[in-house]
Amino acid sequence: MEKKRAISNTEEESSTQESSAKRKNTLSTDSEATVQLLSKTAKAIEQVLGTCEEVVKYDKLKQNVTKNPKSRYHVEQYKTHLTNIQMLTLKKYKQLCNDLKGNPQDA
């Protein structure tokens, strides 16, 4: 009797782990597909970098700063992330320039 319970418990655990993993995968693909950027800047960055979590995060931080312009926390978070976005954009620009010149180098 105890063996049957142990087997059924392990089966239930493995099935819940599989279903939660499937949910995580579908949620990530759904969220990526349905992301709608609100700011014009984020849309422009998306054209350069493509849709990635950095662009989505930038858009969220931009909205937070817009809603809370006096919040030191939100402003600092936005500025820090903006620096990261600028670096990614410059790397992409350098990569495109090198590709156009015919000098493919790792950026």
Looking at residue 35, its pLDDT comes to 75
Tens digit of pLDDT for each residue in 34-89?
578 899 999 999 999 998 999 999 999 999 999 999 999 999 999 999 999 999 99
Residue 100's Cβ-count burial label (10 Å; 0-12, 13-18, 19+) is exposed
Residue 83's Cβ-count burial label (10 Å; 0-12, 13-18, 19+) is exposed
Residue range 11-34: mean pLDDT, rounded: 47
Look up the pTM and report it: 0.61
Looking at residue 22, its pLDDT comes to 46
